[in-house]
């Protein structure tokens, strides 16, 4: 039996939109059980997710390798769906790896990364999910440039609201030059702050979200969480991707204090503490 495991990711956050990513210690797992006459996908993701060849993972694998032999798959995941934590990215990479394994395609990591980044239209989440840890990447004319990034030791305190992302929400197609310039400068400074282990400065820079205003406006809990966190001099609360999850990156020795303060907010939903995953996609 072959098992494919892909971590959740934080991407498209703060000044790192379409570039910075972090792998989180939650995962999607696909077990390839046995060959079959038809595709069977056993999973714990709810009845809105198909159990047959129309399942997204199978459909993408078949598109990549049309002659793939049907199999019985078992899919499990503890990545929250439609919260901005990379559940679709994990499924995409799992599909590419499924085709790679069953089709014996011999794809290297760069090819997997390029296929996934072109599919998503940006590389932030796929780079972190593939490589693990904290990453920076850039998609230009279909080519991907990617690297690991030096960052402080963090834990992610994740707020999961009771509602899910509205995928039909309008997103701006253009951004102001001033916002783009400020975001690029903040992103450069963030990398410098990370490299010099300046956590407070890095946290303040993480909260630069000039070009995420449309997303932030739909997540009112962000301001509430930031105000509570700032009382502890904890900065670095961001909307995860297109939301609505809110992630606060915090030094491990401050995690419990932060949780104690956030508990007083009585926000509907739950808080979850998740480590940064040092390993990306694995096959065993």
Tell me: do 128 and 10 sit in the same domain. yes
Which pair of tokens denotes residue 279? 């390993």
Are 69 and 99 members of one domain? Answer: yes
What are 198-228's pLDDT values in tens digits?
999 999 999 998 777 778 788 999 999 999 9
Query: Is the domain of 165 the same as that of 219?
Result: yes
Residues 12 and 82 in one domain: yes
CB 99 within 8 A of CB 112: no
What per-residue confidence (pLDDT) applies to 180? 82
Residues 44 and 96 in one domain: yes
Of all residues in the chain, the percent with pLDDT exceeding 70 is 97
Instruction: Look up the pTM and report it.
Output: 0.93
Print the domain residue range for 262.
155-275
Claim to verify: residue 200 and residue 258 sit in the same structural domain: yes
Q: Measuring CA to CA, how many Å separate 21 from each of 101, 114, 221?
A: 26, 16, 22
Q: Does 108 lie in the same domain as 245?
A: no
Taking only the tens place, the pLDDT of each residue in 226-239 is 999 999 999 999 99
Phi and psi angles of residue 184, each rounded to the nearest 5 degrees, phi first: -65, -45
Looking at the structure, tell me whether residues 10 and 100 fall in a common domain: yes
Omega cis (within 30) before 5: no
- Residue 172: φ, ψ to 5°: -65, 140
| pLDDT 10s digits, 131-182 | 999 999 999 999 999 999 999 999 999 999 998 877 655 666 677 888 888 8
- Looking at the structure of the chain, the number of domains it has is 2
Q: Report the CATH number at residue 6.
A: 3.30.230.10
Q: Which is nearest to 6 in space by CA: 115, 108, 79?
A: 79
């Amino acid at each position: 039996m072959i098992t494919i495991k892909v971590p959740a990711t934080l991407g498209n956050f703060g000044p790192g939109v379409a570039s910075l990513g972090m792998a989180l210690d939650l995962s999607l797992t696909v077990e390839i059980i046995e060959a079959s006459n038809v595709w069977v996908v056993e999973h714990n993701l709810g009845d809105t997710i198909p159990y047959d060849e129309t399942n997204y993972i199978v459909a993408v694998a078949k598109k990549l390798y049309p002659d793939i032999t049907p199999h019985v798959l078992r899919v499990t995941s503890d990545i929250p769906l439609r919260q901005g934590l990379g559940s679709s990215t994990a499924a995409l990479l799992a599909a590419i790896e499924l085709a790679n394994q069953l089709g014996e395609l011999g794809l290297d990591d760069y090819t997997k990364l390029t296929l996934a980044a072109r599919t998503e239209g940006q590389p932030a989440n796929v780079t972190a999910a593939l490589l693990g840890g904290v990453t920076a990447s850039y998609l230009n004319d279909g080519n991907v440039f990617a690297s690991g990034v030096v960052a402080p030791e963090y834990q992610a305190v994740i707020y999961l609201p009771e509602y899910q992302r509205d995928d039909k929400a309008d997103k701006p197609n253009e951004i102001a030059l001033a916002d783009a310039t400020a975001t690029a400068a903040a992103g450069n400074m963030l990398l410098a702050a990370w490299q010099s282990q300046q956590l407070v400065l890095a946290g303040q820079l993480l909260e630069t979200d000039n070009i995420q205003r449309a997303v932030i406006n739909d997540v009112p809990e962000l301001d509430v969480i930031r105000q509570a966190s700032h009382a502890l001099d904890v900065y670095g609360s961001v909307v995860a991707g297109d939301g609505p999850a809110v992630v606060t990156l915090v030094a491990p020795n401050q995690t419990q204090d932060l949780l104690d303060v956030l508990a007083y907010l009585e926000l509907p939903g739950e808080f979850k503490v998740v480590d940064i995953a040092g390993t990306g996609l694995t096959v065993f």
